[in-house]
Amino acid sequence: MPIPVATLLLAACVAETDIGEPLGADVSALAMSNALIPNALIPNALIPNALIPNALIPNALIPNALDPASIAALQDPGQRGELSRQFLRYVVSCALDATQAFSFSWTDAGGVVHNETYSGALGIAPSWATQPLTDLMSQRLVSGCLAARTNYFGTSVTISMRSLQSPVRKLVAPGEIAAYPNIEGAFWGNLFTATPSVRACYHAAGVATARAALRDCAAGHLDGAGSVVSCGPIVLAGACDPLCPNIDPSGGYYITCSDPPGSNGATTYVITTALP
């Protein structure tokens, strides 16, 4: 049986003034795992203006199926375009698999044409390349993937991304659970609804390790005054113990989390992250 956990090399998100390196940089050097990819999703790109999840799901995730507003956002030469393109890179890498890609072009303010190709990686929702993203599991897992790959800083961090659900649970490197024993927290929600939301909780025993590694989005960022600041639209739900009471002992992931926090409902569509 496969070990139920997936590995992801994540460069924790850049500060909000820095767009960071595109996905795909140095991927060949990271080929020792099925899902090792560099990341730099910034908090204010999680739901960029104009290019929002609600505008993406009615159609297949291909350029000629997107609505005009989304295409305009991707081709904008200003900051809106930078945020929209970064957001879409992560959408594609979470949703599509390594055999799939999203290609388009845009022209900057100087008249230079940029040909973009965003490659898939995790394959959470590969059918989105040919049809709308309508099933709840795929919407929630893509949302959790995007939230888990968001951070406040630009420091490169290696994390283990895990889930009860396939395909994430099947993407595994040997010895990963032992190599990444410090559970950081969990991310869950749905960005693809009329009222989009994503949540994060922190594993109390892992907070110090996460903060030392500049991974702040599970527990929240501490500003200069000691106040807790969330990462963009990610709602801080507090400690995981009361919300996500069960950790799979072999896979090192939370099995269910309350959704919304404090309700009687629960979801198994949860992404857990862990650090060395």
* CA atoms within 13 Å, Cβ hemisphere of 60: 12
Three-state SS for 29?
Answer: helix
In contact, 150 and 157? CB cutoff 8 Å:
no
Please state whether beta strands 156-162 and 221-222 pair in parallel, antiparallel, or not at all (unpaired): unpaired
Residue 105 burial (CB count, 10 A): 12
- Structure tokens belonging to residue 51: 């290019």
pLDDT of residue 17: 29
pLDDT of residue 7: 40
Q: Which residues of the chain have pLDDT under 50?
A: 1-38
- Structure tokens belonging to residue 224: 């200069």
In contact, 209 and 216? CB cutoff 8 Å:
no
Residue 215 burial (CB count, 10 A): 25
Q: Which residues pair with 119 in a beta bridge?
A: 101
What Rg do the C-alpha atoms of the chain give, in angstroms? 17
Tens-place pLDDT, residues 219-259: 999 998 989 999 889 999 999 999 999 999 888 899 999 87
Using CA atoms, how far residue 61 sits from 53, 74, 181, 187, in Å, is 11, 13, 35, 23
In contact, 89 and 118? CB cutoff 8 Å:
yes
Map tokens 């490169």 to a residue: 156
* Structural domain boundaries in the chain: 6-275
Closest by CA to 97, choosing from 119, 118, 117, 120, is: 120
- How far is 92 from 86, CA to CA, in rounded Å? 10
- Structure tokens belonging to residue 223: 């500003």
pLDDT of residue 269: 94
pLDDT of residue 46: 81
User: Cα 168 vs. chain centroid, distance in angstroms?
Assistant: 12
